[in-house]
Structure 1
Amino acid sequence: MSDPLVDSFGRVHNYVRISVTDRCNLGCQYCRPGNSTDYTTKIDLLTFNEMVAIVNVLAEMGVTKVRITGGEPLLRPHLEELVSRLSAISGIRRIGLTTNGMLLASKAQALRQAGLTDVNVSLDSLLPERYANITRGGNLSRVMRAVEACFEAGFKMLKLNVVLMQGVNEDEIESFLRLTLDYPLQIRFIEYMPIGNQAEGWKAGFMPLEGIMAQCAERGWDAQRVVPADSLSNSSFCGTAADSGPARYYRISGAAGEFGLINPVSDHFCMDCNRLRITANGHVKPCLYWNDERDIKPFIGNDEMLRQEIRRSLEAKPQRHEMIVQPSHKPSQHTMLRQMSQIGG
């Protein structure tokens, strides 16, 4: 086994997110502002063979978790084949999928049987018309059917990702919290991030998550912090105490589920970052927010060269992002110009 993936700040990287396509069947406001259709051409996409080769090398370097992302990953045909091949790699313990859920219901069983261990579904509203507006065409009933299908397929717990936006969906916080009372869900509230040249729109929509705990108190709900060892993630197929991710989880007394707060802007978790990102066309990104990335596609097939390029990418990883900076501050690197759908989140 190779030496672990450690950057210049001592952070050990055991998690990789691989985008299998930058195409999407929705146009979520925070992910694809302007509803851009500037996609990677099909010929540029990594093949399944290339993805497996990359993960084989990363597993030798200590990576234990893979998350399949997009765009919308279920637009990539035969995704269960990729899941099966990744799950067969020695050292890989978890394989996750982040999806908008539109195509998930009919594929949940096959993905579970192929070895998928956890599912994150993006769901930013529980109101059909609002959901359609945020996503530019999404069908809420299809997403809710997908959630049911995942439980029917044997997933013990699901994560629902909610990007909170001021003036858009902040009035639904209580409705999402109530879901945790009756269902084994992890509702994850995520701060809206200024990705892809959308600073002005982001300023209008950004809201910190600090008010969520106050809402619990106002409703008389006793919400207590859940340590990773006691979390739903640790008691299901979806996680381990040693890999709890960036969310801080809480459980309302007597609830079947939990809710999490992910504060990448107001309270960054950069010093605990353990992830790399591989774009759909084979570039490794050590940091979501910075523009720096390296093309590793030419080195696939030469494991030693591939390892060297991956390590070089880590050398450029900054100590932290700079999503919020003072007006007089000059960023230490070029900030991200890709849209979120082109990165894989």
Structure 2
Amino acid sequence: MPPANAGLCDRFGRTIDYLRVSVTDRCDLRCSYCLPKGYRDFEERDHCLDLGEIERIVGVFAALGVSRVRLTGGEPLLRRGLVPLAARLNALPGVQDLSLSTNATQLADQAAALRQAGVARLNVSLDTLRADRLRQITGRDVLCAVIEGLMAAKQVGFEPIKLNMVVLRGVNDDEIDDMAAFCIEHGFVLRLIEAMPVGDTGRSAQFADLQPIRRRLQERFQLLDAAIPGGGPARYLRSPDGRFSVGFITPLSQHFCATCNRVRLSVDGTLYMCLGQDHSLPLRPLLRSGASDAELMAAVRAAIDLKPERHEFREAPGKLMRVMARTGG
């Protein structure tokens, strides 16, 4: 592969060093803010990138200076061959941080293999510790499986393990203290997330402004600014004794577009420059028409030039019609 002369930088001076890779748009859950009930519009199998194509694109990005890679979905643990793929990506020159987002329903059986393959960090979606509420949000009775997966990941040495809690007004916003206590008990990092208006499900979610919650937790735990490993948008705080760390992802109440360092590769090979915009470039046709690595690099650089300055979740909440799982988490 030809060497890249410079890293990726967009028109607004932001360095792009983080690639989120969706390995599947399928999921075993139907979270109310993500996939509509009865959703069946999944990508056709022959339109999905195969493992070799994923490896090649990640290699191109790594040669261009991208050092952080996160495997996402859908639910990535449903993708056959994920563990060998993780090992191959981890071995690529330039990849320094390989992580994975999961709902943890399949994690108990795969945690040890993922760790051995080189996955360094996990983000686990868990919006509630109450079985009935989790069933209401996800459509399935999965709390025991998720907790089992979390404990398996902890046992094999994943650290940090971050719990992603989408805070929904009137649904689970009364449970934040319970989630904080759970994270303190097990050494997990809590991440509170505002629901985003992506697709009909996202727009109908019960949005909760995290700023008042941030102020309350900051006062209760005497939280201080903290740096937690990871390349994402969360702003972290930590208690003085180090036992409790919490991150806030606030795309609506306090957006983080000025420091955005990432792009997303969907399962069909489309490169999305922003979760909240439609700017994109299909890479699959290039891959399957025999493009050279140099041509792929040129295409990626051209795509980065399309990256918008910011999303418009506040100004145009009805703009995006695609569901979250089609873009990649």
Give how far 1:264 is off: 0.8
2:221 pairs with 1:221 = yes
Aligned to 2:319: 335
AA matched with 1:282: G
**Secondary structure of 1:276 counterpart:** strand
**Secondary structure of 2:200 counterpart:** coil
How many equivalent residue pairs?
323
CA distance in 1, matches of 2:254, 2:22: 26
2:94 pairs with 1:91 = yes
Give how far 1:314 is off: 1.5
- Cα distance, 1:42–1:200 mapped onto 2, change above 3 Å: closer
Identity %: 38
Unaligned segments of structure 2, at least 5 residues: none
After TM superposition, the structure 1 = structure 2 runs for residues 1-345 of structure 1, keeping only pairs within 5 Å, are: 1-2=3-4, 3-198=6-201, 201-202=204-205, 205-216=206-217, 220-226=220-226, 228=227, 231=228, 233=229, 239=230, 243=231, 245-300=232-287, 301-325=291-315, 335-345=319-329
AA matched with 2:296: L
AA matched with 1:94: D
Deviations 1:114-167 (A, max 9, x none): 111111100011100100110111410110111100011121220010001111
**Secondary structure of 2:49 counterpart:** coil
**Secondary structure of 2:41 counterpart:** coil
Deviations 1:284-326 (A, max 9, x none): 001111122211112225112211221222222110101001x
Output the TM-score relative to the length of structure 2.
Answer: 0.93
Output the TM-score relative to the length of structure 1.
Answer: 0.89
**Secondary structure of 1:189 counterpart:** strand
CA distance in 2, matches of 1:120, 1:26: 16
- Cα distance, 1:217–1:100 mapped onto 2, change above 3 Å: closer
**Secondary structure of 2:216 counterpart:** helix
Unaligned segments of structure 1, at least 5 residues: 234-238, 326-330
**Secondary structure of 2:26 counterpart:** coil
Give how far 1:185 is off: 1.0
| Aligned-residue RMSD, C-alpha | 1.8
Give how far 1:255 is off: 4.7
C-alpha contact (below 8 Å) 1:96/1:116 kept by paired residues: yes
Task: Decide which moves more: 85-94 or 253-262.
Answer: 253-262
Give how far 1:199 is off: 6.7
CA distance in 2, matches of 1:316, 1:87: 28
Give how far 1:200 is off: 5.1
**Secondary structure of 2:320 counterpart:** coil
AA matched with 1:201: S
AA matched with 1:206: F
Give how far 1:28 is off: 0.3
